[in-house]
Amino acid sequence: MKHFITTQDWGRAELDALLSHAHGLKASPINRLLEGRAVALVFFNPSLRTRASFEVGAWQMGGHAVVLEPGGSGGTGGAWGMAFEPGAVMGGDAEEHVREAARVLSRYCDLIAVRAFPRFVDWSVDRRDLVIRGFAEHATVPVINMETITHPCQELAHVMTLQERFGVPDLRGKKYVLTWTYHPKPLNTAVANSAAMIATRYGMDVTLLCPDERYRLDERYMDAACSNAAESGGSFAVSHDIASSYDGADVVYAKSWGALPFFGKWDEEKAVRDANRHFIVDEEKMARTNGALFGHCLPARRNVKATDAVMDAPYSMIVDEAENRLHVQKALMASLVGGGGAG
């Protein structure tokens, strides 16, 4: 059975088919591709865009979305108490194991989509992605990643938006800067991991711009970006120099993330983060680019990650990309239930 856990598991032709279908669905949004179908949306963490776009998307295709928030979506998933470790001895708070939850939801629903952020205590645990992997192992229907330690739906929306803005499907050769930005809290690396993978997959020349080596992504994603670039004809490099990274860029994609060596010791990272507020995306930096597009997955703190002038500029594609979440996820859901596109 095909799941959508990471785009790395999908071939380029499959991704291209999804994107092509998404462009078509944007032009003609209402259909019956999910008629009689139900989608479980399981949120262990909060959402604005993901929840709204999946719910509306299912409805626009004649399907039904069931939203579940184990423990309340503001929690870490521990409040309801679901266990994910194989062989767990459930003498603590967990009331239910993913083995049952996934199989039961599979009896009601045709798709299960899951959002489960890291717990931010121990990266060696979080990087195993146990929640979504548990659902994928035990579900008998396809499972969709709505953001765990990667955010593949955001990747699809990002590529779709770049294709629209550049007016061509081929993104090869574009100079792409994935820039770390300051945020008062240490955030998930998911979108940065995803951006590095999908930008290299589509043949762009990608620079990961971050304050120092401690902000490198997990080597799993660094390696994936390198091998994607080798395959696509793009490139992948790390830089800590703001000016040269922005020079001549065609795309600036901003994201904040917590440095992995400080995982679980976030107080120690605070001084490092605070010293790098100047990574904010502003007009002065954008002026160095080749008229670059600016992107961010949202939500984004204005005048912390990017200035108002950048967020509201004609070259800002932040709202377009958020809209395109709807179209790519519709194509994805249709594909996974056998209703068009790839899969």
What's the number of CA atoms in the CB half-sphere (13 Å) around residue 103? 6
228 lies in the binding site for ligand CP (CB under 6 A): no
Q: In the sheet where 64-68 sits, what is the strand order?
A: 64-68, 38-43, 111-115, 143-145
Q: With contact defined as beta carbons under 8 Å apart, do 57 and 26 qualify? A: no
Amino acid at 64: H
CB of 53 to ligand CP, least distance (A): 8
Q: Of 43 and 84, which has the nearer Cβ to ligand CP?
A: 43
Residue among 222 and 298 whose Cβ is closer to ligand CP: 298
Q: How far is the CB of 179 from ligand CP (least distance, A)?
A: 17
Select from 147, 155, 205, 250 the one that contacts ligand CP (CB under 6 A).
147
Using CB under 6 A, which of 47, 150, 181, 235 touches ligand CP? 47
Residue type at position 171: L
* Secondary structure (3-state) at 173: coil
- Rule CB under 6 A: choose which of 49, 175, 201, 285 binds ligand CP: 49
State the Cα–Cα distance between residues 129 and 110, nearest whole angstrom.
22
Cβ atoms of residues 63 and 35 within 8 Å: yes
> Could you say which DSSP state residue 209 is in?
E
Q: Which stretch binds ligand CP (CB under 6 A): 48-56, 175-183, 235-243, 265-273?
A: 48-56
Give the torsion sign (CA, 6, 77, 331, 319).
negative
| Choice from 145, 154, 289, 335 touching ligand CP (CB under 6 A) | 154
Residues 290-319 that bind ligand CP (CB under 6 A): 297-299
Closer CB to ligand CP, 54 or 262, in the complex: 54
DSSP 141-166: S-EEESSSSS-HHHHHHHHHHHHHHH
Q: How far is the CB of 298 from ligand CP (least distance, A)?
A: 5
Kindly state the smallest distance separating residue 290's Cβ from ligand CP, in Å: 26
Structure tokens at 24: 């078509």
Grouping H, G, I as helix, E, B as strand and the rest as coil, residue 216 is coil
- Nearer to ligand CP by Cβ, of 126 and 147: the residue is 147
Which of the stretches 42-50, 169-177, 252-260, 265-273 binds ligand CP when contact is defined by CB under 6 A?
A: 42-50
Q: How far is the CB of 199 from ligand CP (least distance, A)?
A: 17
Tell me how crowded residue 158 is: count the other CB atoms within 10 A of its CB. Answer: 27
Q: Is 50 in the site for ligand CP (CB under 6 A)?
A: yes
- Compare residues 94 and 111 and give the one whose CB is closer to ligand CP: 111
# residues contacting ligand CP (CB under 6 A): 9
Task: Specify the residue, 69 or 205, whose C-beta has the smaller distance to ligand CP.
Answer: 69
Report the half-sphere exposure of 281 (CA within 13 A, side-chain side): 35
Q: Report whether 209 contacts 245 (CB < 8 A).
A: yes
Beta bridge partners of 235: 205
Which of the residues 76 through 105 are near ligand CP (CB under 6 A)? none
For ligand CP, give the closer residue by CB, 188 or 335. Answer: 188
Q: Residue length, the chain?
A: 343
In the numeric block, which tokens belong to residue 157?
A: 């929306």
Q: How far apart are the first and last CA of the chain?
A: 10
Supply 219's token pair. 């080597």
> Residue 300 Cβ, how far from ligand CP at the closest point, in Å?
9
Closer of 125 and 298 to ligand CP (Cβ): 298
* Cβ closest to ligand CP, residue 156 vs residue 260: 156
- The residue ranges that bind ligand CP (CB under 6 A) are 47-50, 147, 154, 297-299
